[in-house]
Amino acid sequence: MIEKIKDLMAEVETFAVDTKEKAEELRLKYLSKKGILNEIFAEFKKVKPEEKREYGQKINSLKTLVESKIAAAQEALEDQLSKPNDLDITLPGPNHNLGSHHPITMVKNEIIEIFSRLGFTVAEGQEIEDDYHNFTALNFPPEHPARDMQDTFFIETNPDILLRTHTSGGQVRVMEKQQPPIRVLVPGRVFRNEAVSARSHCIFHQIEGLYIDKNVSFADLKQTLMYFAKEFYGEKTEIRLRPSYFPFTEPSAEMDVSCSICGGKGCGICKNSGWLEILGCGMVHPNVLRNCGIDPEVYSGFAFGMGIERTAMLRYGVTDIRMFFENDMKFLSRFKY
């Protein structure tokens, strides 16, 4: 009988309990009413009293073995059910690429922040404009070359509708709705039918400024832009205004700042001139005020417009304007902060 129990122990040991059904099979075979253990207990009654102790111990260890085998199997099966088999919690987690602001947005926000300290708010123009707001109301003569098909993207079926070539139409839209005092910025995307190269693109961004009130003079324009230049490019920055022409401002000027790269000494970026051209500006033409329902006898004001790409290229040392539109992750990840 001792031999028989030994064999049974070996059998239980090697019995593979890898499913619920197998565990139940083992239980029925050994622990149920008609199971092997009860059979052995029946035989045990016939054992001589002096041998009972040894037999008893053997039978008990067989019973404990079966019970612990079933319990261990049940625990393992439950564990398996609560976890998918292929989950390896020691693997590193997925890599989340955090986004960041686009460099154009960063420069735009910085410019807005500086002018907002002078009381400027932000208005939105529209990218799809009509001829009136983009040209006519801004005092462009009917035959002005800027209306030429080569510069402007017109809608084929209706040449009165176009993609705005500058944000200046935003001036008109603000003045149509609001009487002075006006202090507003109009940032946005503009479009010109130009060949794409490292220096110019058919899509770019501008920020327009408009200031209208009583007694606004050219000195106010200069002071405002000088404040901006020193805040944006640094305290030592100098400005210079060169006479220019825009149909919607009179007088008109272009503003240069002393080169922020070489400090005005002359370098490759400023083409050895020491100056960088950054914006166009001027006193709003009386015809424009009149077109928008503002009396030029009572009010005057100034406007300016600057390209954001150029400014961003200088700020971040970007040498190819196309980089701003390609959404190359390597390029964009330089601007994380």
Residues that bind ligand PHE (CB under 6 A): 166, 168, 208, 246, 249, 280-282, 303-305
Q: Please choose, from the candidates 136, 188, 179, the residue with its C-alpha nearest in 3D space to the C-alpha of residue 159.
A: 136
Helix axis angle for 36-44 and 20-31, nearest 10°, is 20
Residue closer to ligand PHE (CB basis): 168 or 237: 168
CB of 234 to ligand PHE, least distance (A): 24
CB of 95 to ligand PHE, least distance (A): 42
Q: DSSP class of residue 323?
A: G
CB of 138 to ligand PHE, least distance (A): 8
Residue, CB closest to ligand PHE: 305
- Number of residues written out for the chain: 337
Residue closer to ligand PHE (CB basis): 2 or 196: 196
Helix runs in 202-317, H state only: 218-233, 286-291, 308-316
Q: How far apart are CA 239 and CA 97, in angstroms?
A: 41
Inter-residue contact 242 to 253 (CB < 8 Å): yes
Residue closer to ligand PHE (CB basis): 31 or 146: 146
Residue closer to ligand PHE (CB basis): 40 or 241: 241
Burial class of residue 162 (count of CB atoms within 10 Å of its CB; 0-12, 13-18, 19+): buried
CB of 168 to ligand PHE, least distance (A): 4
CB of 280 to ligand PHE, least distance (A): 3
Residue closer to ligand PHE (CB basis): 101 or 222: 222
